[in-house]
Amino acid sequence: MVVELKDGVYWVGVVDWNIKHFHGHEYTTHRGTTYNAYLIIDEKIALVDTVYGPYSHELIENIEKIIDIKKIDYVIANHAETDHSGGLPELMKFIPEATVVVSEKGKESIYKHYHYHWNFKTVKTGDTISLGKNSLVFVSAPMLHWPDSMFTYLTGKNILMPNDAFGQHYASSSRFNDEVDMVEVYQEAIKYYTNILTPFSDLVIKKIDEFKKLNLPVDSIAPSHGIIWRENPMHIVEKY
């Protein structure tokens, strides 16, 4: 399944209906989850995040429905945990020359996971990569929820891709918050915050304030798990 978020921006992720536990067995996920990856077609082509390793083939099939996979120039790895970076080894076999964009900490931990000397480019808050018409802007977000975590923002389309932040473990055949039962989604968003972000609540508030100071308009928030906040996207930010 492939879904267009905005002109030239596609969800190419995977819905995992069956997963019932996350982070070992500590976190139950009765409503399953999704691993969201986003493909951006511009003069240059970028993929933001991959999927959990066992689903790599689905990610690759999804990308191939839209473009020749070999045309990908940049792969952004916002976070090294395997539910998002697990697709890298299979993907990179097709595009060994592509640039893998990571935070400094992300570079260390992705190398420790996979032991490949990919063409890494490290970025920090305020760094940008032009894709042609639009650009990617990066915001480091340490401890939201891991030391290496970062957010990627796409100008022009005004999409914030904050990886695990603002996510929910919620499997659905719909991709957007205006298409699903919001009571269920908020139950999962609260549970998610409680499980992975509560210890870092002070940092969450500081990061949101820092992001607001960048004055980047947000039309949608596209996290790495669950539905995409398209209608009133700042509501979940206020809730955080």
Is 235 assigned a catalytic role?
Answer: no
Is 16 assigned a catalytic role?
Answer: no
Is 25 assigned a catalytic role?
Answer: no
CB of 70 to Fe ion, least distance (A): 27
Is 148 assigned a catalytic role?
Answer: no
Is 192 assigned a catalytic role?
Answer: yes
Nearest residue (CB) to Fe ion, 45 versus 227:
227
**In contact, 26 and 34? CB cutoff 8 Å:** no
Catalytic-role residue among 81, 153, 169, 193: 81
Helix/strand/coil for 139: strand
Applying CB under 5 A, among 83, 91, 107, 140 the residue interacting with Fe ion is 83
**Of 74, 125, 80, the residue nearest 105 (C-alpha):** 80
Q: Which two structure tokens, joined as six digits, stand for 236?
A: 């979940």
In 10 A of CB 37, how many CB atoms? 27
Q: Using CB atoms within 10 Å of the CB of residue 232, give its burial: 0 to 12 exposed, 13 to 18 middle, 19+ buried.
A: exposed
The residue count for binding Fe ion (CB under 5 A) is 3
Nearest residue (CB) to Fe ion, 25 versus 213:
25
Q: Using CB atoms within 10 Å of the CB of residue 22, give its burial: 0 to 12 exposed, 13 to 18 middle, 19+ buried.
A: middle
In 10 A of CB 150, how many CB atoms? 27
List the Cα angle 121/226/34 in 5-degree steps.
75
49 binds Fe ion (CB under 5 A): no
Collect all residues with Cβ–Cβ distance below 8 Å to 103 and sequence separation of at least 6: 122, 123, 124, 138, 140, 142, 148, 149, 150
Applying CB under 5 A, among 16, 49, 58, 81 the residue interacting with Fe ion is 81
Is 164 assigned a catalytic role?
Answer: yes
CB of 22 to Fe ion, least distance (A): 8
Is 83 assigned a catalytic role?
Answer: yes
Catalytic-role residue among 55, 74, 153, 192: 192
Is 57 assigned a catalytic role?
Answer: no
Nearest residue (CB) to Fe ion, 42 versus 164:
164
164 binds Fe ion (CB under 5 A): yes
CB of 179 to Fe ion, least distance (A): 22
Residues at the contact surface with Fe ion, assessed by CB under 5 A: 81, 83, 164
By annotation, the residues acting in catalysis are 23, 79, 81, 83, 145, 164, 192, 225
